[in-house]
Amino acid sequence: MNPHLRVTLVQTELEWQDPAANRHRLAAHFRGLLGHTDLVVLPEMFSTGFSMDASTLAEDMHGPTIEWMREEAAALGCVITGSLIVREADRCHNRLVWARPDGTLEHYDKRHLFRMANEQQHYAAGTRRLVTEIKGWRVCPLICYDLRFPVWSRSRGDYDLLLYV
């Protein structure tokens, strides 16, 4: 494992349900990061805010936000991750996307949906964890409320870093 992993956390105000404005705002935070970070971590539902309007706001895996993530990761030479609303077949997911600078993607669908906001009525729960690699670090990225379920995130010796957006 490489002992140095430079992580940039981006937390900013979001424009409610306005993906284009949020991509523009987030890109402004990326200025000056080239050569200074290995991983940019964006918030849960960074393109829309935590919305239950999944059917209106969902994009597919070739939508503008995923393409933006690919372009920004390539331009910065780093991984960009965060969650957004993704439609796959006839179901919507609160999906964490792991976008590498070479254009490849991995994803994790939030397993534990936030019942107090009725998230389960709008999103399908994920069924598998993701463990991915960056600079020799094995990373298990999860989303928000997954934090309340330690059995799901328990290390089986399969990751070095547990990351929640």
Which residue numbers are catalytic?
Answer: 44, 110, 144
Residue for token pair 């490849």: 104
The partner residues of 65 in beta bridges, in order of sequence, read: none
DSSP 103: S
C-alpha–C-alpha distance, residues 145 and 112, integer Å: 6
Nearest of 154, 17, 161, 162 to residue 84 by alpha carbon: 17
